[in-house]
Structure 1
Amino acid sequence: MFETAIIAFTTFFATVGPLDVAAMFAVLTPNASVEARRSMALRGVLISAGILITFALIGDLILHNLGISLAALRVAGGILLLLIGIDMVFALNTGGTTTTEAETSEAAGKQDISVFPLATPLIAGPGTMGATILLMANSRDDMGAQVMVVAALLAVLLITLLLLLLSTAVHRVLGVTALNVVSRVFGVLLSALAVQFMFDGLAASGLFPA
């Protein structure tokens, strides 16, 4: 169960990217008051929490109704997370965990960014949604493990909220270089976890003899 919590926390921290989200938040709200930024940060995290917890609760039902096996989900989810990990390692911006250039441009003209792009796609992006479904499905027969997955998700969201409230200081103190270093480290870890997910999925698929 402890291993599940560590894997879930690492995966969510990498896919959400609290430091990157905080830096983007600071860039997109340069003229907002302290009260407005606090309000947007809180709303954004609460909305993203609602989205991700919904995926955690009904993700398995969706898979069942679509006839998607756990093995297929592990392989597909592993591929998605591997692509995100590669993006993080090479500091690319393809929209898996951050906004695209078009989305950033649109967000720059908004007074309230709590829903878009903060809640989604910055926090509850496709990578995090996919990771939530995958981790919950992996623990479908262990309620305690599923509780640990949700707890890890909430812990990462709490860290994200704290960093959003301190976003200006985070952006100023760490700078682009330090943020990229942290992102690359978690990108490597996420890539390794993604490959393991794919190996597990292929092993469970029955396509290859034991």
Structure 2
Amino acid sequence: MLAELNPYGSVTGAFLLAFPALFSIVNPLGAALIFSQVMAGREGAERAILARRVGLYSLLVLLVSLWGGAYVLNFFGISLGALRVAGGLVVAIRAWSLLMAPEEHESRKEQQAAPASDADDVAFFPLTMPFTTGPGSIAVAVTLGSARPASGAGLFSFFAGVSAAAAVTALCVWLAYHWSEALIRLLGRGGTRVVMRMAAFLLLCIGVQILSTGAQDMLVAALHAAGPRAPH
């Protein structure tokens, strides 16, 4: 099972689960290229302030999704197994699109960020949502939150690990946006796409793993429900 392959109850295991997925779906490097283009008409100091604010807002969006998303869905009677199956499908499909058609992803991001070029208060909308942490990122974060241990001491370690992963991802967003012009010179669009495809493959593996764990959970529950019953 997934818990056997990855010690999610430990801080390190939870971090190693969450960080590749969050980094892949947020894609700070690729987003930094578009951020630089959209912010080309603004002063350097203003771009630095926006980069810091977007990093902070992105952290808040990811933490709320990681901590509360799965609990909200469970409140509506959605089982943990079903949540993992659906979330794993979302993550895998998203990763596949990133892996096979990064150009379409970039085009969509450019359209999302376009209003930021001629507005003043743009740190949260559209630069944080939906440009940096849009519906795809929120779906991935909710899915990761569903991988939490059912209870016990491992629950705290799990949330500490995924929270650290969200913080590191948000830090990468801030640094990538802040140094976006330097990244363009260093990587270029082609180099960024190579990094995107590598990260997307990791995200695809994580989605499939979460999906398989959810399927196992549902199968075990079905076998227990159909098991022999004690005679009256």
TM-score normalised by structure 1 residue count: 0.89
Percent of aligned positions that are identical: 27
- Cα offset, 1:120, TM superposition: 1.1
Is the CA contact (8 Å cut-off) linking 1:91 and 1:180 kept in structure 2?
no
1:29 to partner: Cα distance: 0.4
- 2:4: which partner in 1? none
Q: 2:77 matched to 1:67?
A: yes
Against the structure 1 CA distance between its residues 70 and 93, is the aligned structure 2 distance closer, same or farther, given a 3 Å change threshold?
A: farther
Match of 1:136 in 2: 145
Cα distance, 1:134 vs structure 2: 1.9
Residue 39 of structure 2 corresponds to residue 39 of structure 1 = no
Q: Residue 99 of structure 1 contacts residue 117 of structure 1 at CA under 8 Å; is this kept in 2?
A: no
One of 15, 28, 31 as aligned partner of 2:38: 28
| Cα separation, partners in 2 of 1:94 and 1:181, compared to 1, 3 Å | closer
Please say if 1:76 is aligned against 2:86: yes
1:149 maps to a residue whose letter is V
Which has more radius of gyration?
Answer: 2
Q: Does 1:122 align with 2:131?
A: yes
1:104–1:119 CA distance, 2 compared to 1 (3 A): closer
Deviation at 1:104, TM superposition (A): 4.1
Structure 2, gaps ≥5 residues long: 1-9, 225-232
Task: Deviation per CA, 1:127-171: give whole Å up to 9, x if none.
Answer: 221222222221143210111001111011111111111011111
CA shift for structure 1 position 12 = 0.8
Q: Residue 6 of structure 2 aligns with which residue?
A: none
The superposition leaves residues 54-107 of structure 1 with CA deviations (integer Å, 9 ceiling, x where unpaired) of 222322331122111111111111111112211221234666x98456434444
Query: Residues 184 and 172 (structure 1 numbering): CA distance in 2 closer, same or farther, change over 3 Å?
Result: same
Q: CA distance change for structure 1 residues 86 and 176 in 2, over 3 Å: closer, same or farther? A: same
* Unmatched segments (≥5 aa) in structure 1: none
Aligned to 1:172: 185
Task: Return 114-123 or 71-80, whichever deviates more.
Answer: 114-123
In structure 2, the partner of 1:55 is: 65
